[in-house]
């Protein structure tokens, strides 16, 4: 099998992290570890949750995409992608739609784009509440330009991305199983 990275994108609350966890557990598809300059949170480990970097070490990597958010830098690097590919030819990463577009431009068909969404945008807020986010954080996220952008598949990715409606988890897992099984056969 040729190397491919499943790029999971979509609005907050759509289930991107759940999909990433599912394919990691069921199909042993490792996630690409991304980089950040923010401090480790309790329970986080360097090399498992993120590569925790200083401003200087962050600057030494070769990023496919990076953002400055909340006073810290975040990014996914070619080095992190190659480390994931050392484990397996099929890996995954969770990105926003802007990052997904960048991956597509740089990696071409090596980037397998999955747009995770729901039929009812009201479900997204319910899911954010259910996962324990604060009311303030939810409102800030729902009104952000990034959330609004990620509510729709970007025009440059239409016809390229696989759209997965995550309305029913059992159906979503069956769809994912079909996609991954098909990729592993080729």
Q: What is 12-56 written as a DSSP string?
A: TTSSHHHHHHHHHHHH--PBPPPEE-SPPPTT--BTTTBEE--HH
CATH 3.30.63.10 fits 33-87, yes or no: yes
pLDDT of residue 164: 97
pLDDT in tens, 81-131: 999 999 999 999 998 898 999 999 999 999 999 999 999 888 888 888 887
C-alpha distances in angstroms, 68 versus 18, 28, 36, 56? 25, 31, 10, 15
> CATH 3.40.50.300 residue ranges in the chain?
1-30+89-186
Q: What is the CATH number of domain 1-30+89-186?
A: 3.40.50.300
Res. 154 pLDDT band, cuts 50 70 90: very high
d(CA 163, CA 90): 19
CATH 3.30.63.10 segments of the chain: 33-87
* Stated pTM of the model: 0.87
């Amino acid at each position: 099998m040729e190397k491919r990275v499943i790029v999971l994108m979509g609005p907050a609350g759509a289930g991107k992290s759940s999909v990433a966890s599912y394919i990691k557990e069921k199909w042993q598809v490792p996630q690409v570890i991304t980089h950040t300059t923010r401090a480790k949170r309790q329970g986080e480990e360097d090399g498992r949750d993120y590569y925790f970097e200083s401003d200087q070490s962050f600057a030494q990597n070769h990023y496919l995409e990076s953002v400055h958010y909340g006073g810290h830098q975040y990014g996914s690097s070619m080095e992190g992608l190659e480390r994931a590919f050392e484990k397996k030819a099929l890996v995954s990463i969770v990105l926003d739609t802007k990052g997904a577009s960048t991956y597509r431009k740089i990696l071409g068909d090596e980037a397998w784009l999955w747009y995770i969404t729901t039929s009812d945008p009201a479900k997204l807020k319910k899911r954010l509440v259910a996962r324990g986010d604060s009311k303030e954080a939810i409102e800030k996220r729902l009104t952000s330009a990034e959330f609004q952008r990620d509510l729709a598949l970007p025009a440059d990715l239409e016809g390229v991305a696989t759209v997965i409606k995550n309305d029913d988890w059992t159906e979503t897992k069956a769809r994912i199983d079909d996609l991954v099984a098909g990729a592993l056969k080729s």
